[in-house]
Amino acid sequence: MTSTQFGPTRDGTAARLFSLGNASGFRADITDFGATLVRLMAPDRHGRLGDVVLGFDRVSAYAGHPFFLGATVGRYANRIAGGRFALDGVTHQLSLNNGPADARCHLHGGPGGFQHRLWVAETREDPRGVSLRLTYRSPDGEEGYPGSLDTTVAYTLPADRNELRLDYEARTDRATPVNLTHHSYFNLGGETACDVLDHRLQIAAGRFTPINAALIPRGPHLPVAGTPFDFRAPRSIGEGIPADDEQLRLAGGYDHNYVLDAGGGALALAATVLEPHSGRVMEVLTTEPGLQLYSGNFLDGSWPGKGGRIHAKHAGFCLETQHFPDSPNQPTFPSTILRPGQVFRSTTIYRFGTAT
C-alpha cells in the first residue's frame, strides 16, 4: 500500500490517494475525499492491466462534477421523493438536488452528501491483503437528516484474489434513514473503450421497480419476463435500450432498481458482466436486497476524465447495491430506518476474472 497527495479540495483541504495492490498487479486507488474509488486496474484475458472505472486525475474535479463517479454516497443512496419523509410522527425535509422543477427530489444524500466530504483514513496491511478504513461523522441536521451518523466503509483487497470488498457500518444517536452504496461507473473494456453497450450482463432478479417521470418508484414491483429488463440470462446492455418501452423512455435507458432473488441479508451473487473484447468478467456479490442498474444515460462529455477521456453517454454503467429507492415513503419496501443501539452493516464484493 502507498499513499500520495491528491491535491487540494475546493476549500483548500489536502486530499490523499491510497493505492492497494496485490502480486498479480490488480490495484485499487482510493481517495479520502468522498471515500471514492479513482482507479481499478484489472487484467484482461492476455494479462494486460487496464483501468475499468471512470474518474478524474485531480481531486478538484471530484469536488465539482455532478455524476458521483466512484463515490460512497449517502446518507441515502438513490432518490427520496420531494426530499420529504415522516418518521415517528415528525416530517423531515431534506435538500433537493435532482429532477424536474415541478418534482424535485433528494438524490444520493444531497448536494453536500458523503461524496463531498473528507473522510478519516486508516490503513492496515498483513499477509492476507491490504485494507483502507474510511470514517465520517455526519452531524445532526446535515442535508436535513435527523441525528448524528457515524459511518465507516472499509475497502479490502485480498492478496490471493482479484477482488475489491466493501464493508459498511453505521451507527446513529437518533432514528434516521440509512442507505449506502458505491457509485463507480464501470467500463471493462479499459481506458480506450468508447461505451458499454456491448457488455453482456446477467442479473439474478425476476422483478424490477417501475418509476414515474421523476424516476421515483411507482406501484408494485413488476416481473422482468417478456420485457427489456430481463437480464436473467446474459444479454448486452445495449440490446434493450432502443425498445419501445415507457420505462426506458422515462430514464433515457436503464436507471432502475432490481429486486434481487436472494432477498438480502446473506452474501449472494447479484450480477455478472462480461466485456467480450478484453475477456474481463466482473461478478457483484452483496448482502443488499436491491441492485440499481444505471446505463450512464446522463453522462454528456462535459467533464473530461483521466487522461482527457470523454465521458459521453453510456461510457460507463453502474451496479449500485442498495435498499430500494424512496423506501422511507414506501411502507411495503424493506425498512431503511436505523435506530440508536442498532448497527447498519452491508457488504459488497466486486470480483474479477477473465473468459477465454
pLDDT at 313: 97
- Which helix (H) or strand (E) segment is 248 a member of? helix 246-251
For 237, list phi and psi in degrees, rounded to 5: -60, -35
The answer for 35, left when phi > 0, alpha when psi is -120 to 50, beta otherwise, is left
Count Cβ atoms below 10 Å from residue 83 Cβ, excluding itself.
22
Helix, strand, coil percentages in the chain from 3-state DSSP, rounded to 5: 10, 45, 50
pLDDT at 145: 98
Type of residue found at 286: T
Decide: 224 and 237 in contact? Cβ < 8 Å.
Answer: no
For 298, list phi and psi in degrees, rounded to 5: -105, 0
Sign of CA dihedral 78, 82, 86, 90: positive
pLDDT at 192: 87
Query: Which of 178, 180, 247, 261 has its CA nearest to residue 217?
Result: 247
CATH of the domain at 77: 2.70.98.10
For 74, list phi and psi in degrees, rounded to 5: 175, 175
Burial 151-169 (b: 16+ CB within 10 A, else e): bbbbbbbbeebbbbbbbbb
Cell, residue 52: 475499468
| Length of the chain (residues) | 356
Active-site positions? 183, 320
- Please state the separation of Cα 313 from the chain's center in Å: 18
Distance CA(171)–CA(271), nearest Å, equals: 29
Decide: 339 and 330 in contact? Cβ < 8 Å.
Answer: no
Strands 290-294 and 268-274, bridge-based pairing = unpaired
Domain span including residue 170? 2-354
CA atoms within 13 A on the CB side of 274: 14
Burial 65-75 (b: 16+ CB within 10 A, else e): bebbbbbbbbb
Q: Which residues of the chain have pLDDT under 50?
A: none
Query: Which of 179, 125, 92 has its CA nearest to residue 3?
Result: 125
The answer for 277, left when phi > 0, alpha when psi is -120 to 50, beta otherwise, is alpha
Query: Which of 171, 149, 72 has its CA nearest to residue 113?
Result: 72
For the chain, the domain total comes to 1
Whole-number Cα distances in Å, 162 to 40, 43, 202, 276: 11, 9, 20, 19
Type of residue found at 132: L
